[in-house]
Chain A
Amino acid sequence: MMFSVGDRVRIKDSHPPGHRRTPYYVRGKTGVVERYCGDFKNPEELAYGFDGTPKRELYRVRITQTELWPDYEGSDSDTLDLEIYDHWLEKIGGQ
């Protein structure tokens, strides 16, 4: 596995055309790996009739709302969790 639970990660700030499952609002944001979900066929390939291989590792990433929205009005501990495929993630920090 490329990432472990607790790793600090950045979601790539990349804007390739086509079918992507990484919503715009999280691109370039940092969070923490909450869990590994398993290996799944790559939807970016499946969308165009390819077989989706090689499979991609899918992770749930937990991002604080204040990281996403600087003027967020709720609690500092509020989070957004979502699923990101490995090729959209970069490890950050001194590990």
Chain B
Amino acid sequence: MTTDERGTHDHGHDHDHPGTTPDANETGYYELMAEAMKELLIEKGVVSADDVRRNLEFLDSRDPAEGARIIARAWTDEDFKKRLLEDGTKAVGEMGFPMGDAVLIVVENTDDVHNMIVCTLCSCYPRTVLGLPPDWYKSKSYRARAVVEPRSVLKEFGTELPDDKTVRVHDSNADMRYLVLPEQPEGTEGWSAEQLTAIVTRDAMVGVTLPQA
């Protein structure tokens, strides 16, 4: 349509403009490609429809409460914490959380160091212990800015860190997955693992916020 035609188009609007109203159920290019790929894999017997369904069901069943239990245990069990930092995959496996093909690295926040996770290339995330990543984690803005101006990004999440604290950003760009072990907040000494689990949030385990008592 040329500008002229648009100019003469009387806008009382009792009709649809095809293609201008996004349909929430519209199947996009990548959805179609994924669907075609899935059908081919099933047709060729590489995977079964039931495998796909079971995997989706498993991923949907994961949520940040799983990660919170891991953190609360690390805060209350010094030996477990040591194992978790030495070999995250093995330690979370002990608690019944499989990492699949991925390797889990747990990074510890201390008085001197704050850790923050990003995946600049896509949206790698420790899904088996945190569930699906939030939309902001997948956004181009977070992925680009977390590695360039992490302290500004942290401020936008309400996290103000002292200048002399080292900020370590971890780009999850290949085969490792990362989980932040936050510092246990003051005033929670002596709490049970169950009480502690309730204050460990998803964002704290990605390293953009600090847990609050």
> Which residues of A come within 8 Å of B, CB atoms?
21-23, 25, 37-38, 40, 43, 58, 60, 65, 68-69, 73-75, 77-85
Contacts and interface: CB of A to CB of B under 8 A. Distances in A.
A87 to B, nearest CB: 13
B211 interface: no
Nearest to A35: B105
B42 interface: no
> Range of interface residues on chain B?
20 to 34
A74 B173 contact: no
B170 A23 contact: no
Interface in B137-151: 147-151
Nearest to A69: B148
Interface in B115-141: 120-121
Nearest to A83: B174
Among A25, A40, A79, A80: residue with most chain B CB under 10 A: A80
Contacts of A23: 120-121, 171, 173
A40 B101 CA distance: 10
CB-based closest 9 A-B pairs: A83-B174, A82-B171, A77-B166, A78-B167, A74-B151, A40-B175, A80-B169, A81-B170, A79-B168
Nearest to A76: B166
Interface of B: 103, 120-121, 147-152, 163-176
B166 to A, nearest CB: 4
11 contacts: A21-B174, A22-B173, A23-B173, A40-B174, A74-B150, A77-B166, A81-B168, A81-B170, A82-B173, A83-B173, A83-B175
Contacts of B121: 21, 23
Contacts of A40: 174-175
A75 B167 contact: yes
Contacts of B163: 74-75
Contacts of A82: 170-171, 173-174
B167 A37 contact: no
Given A79-B166, A81-B168, A73 B151 contact: yes
B170 A37 contact: no
Contacts of A85: 174
B171 A81 contact: yes
A88 B151 CA distance: 29
A10 B165 CA distance: 26
Contacts of B103: 37-38
Given A37-B103, A75-B163, A21 B173 contact: yes
Contacts of B164: 75
Contacts of A78: 150-151, 166-169
Contact of A74 (B120, B167, B172): B167
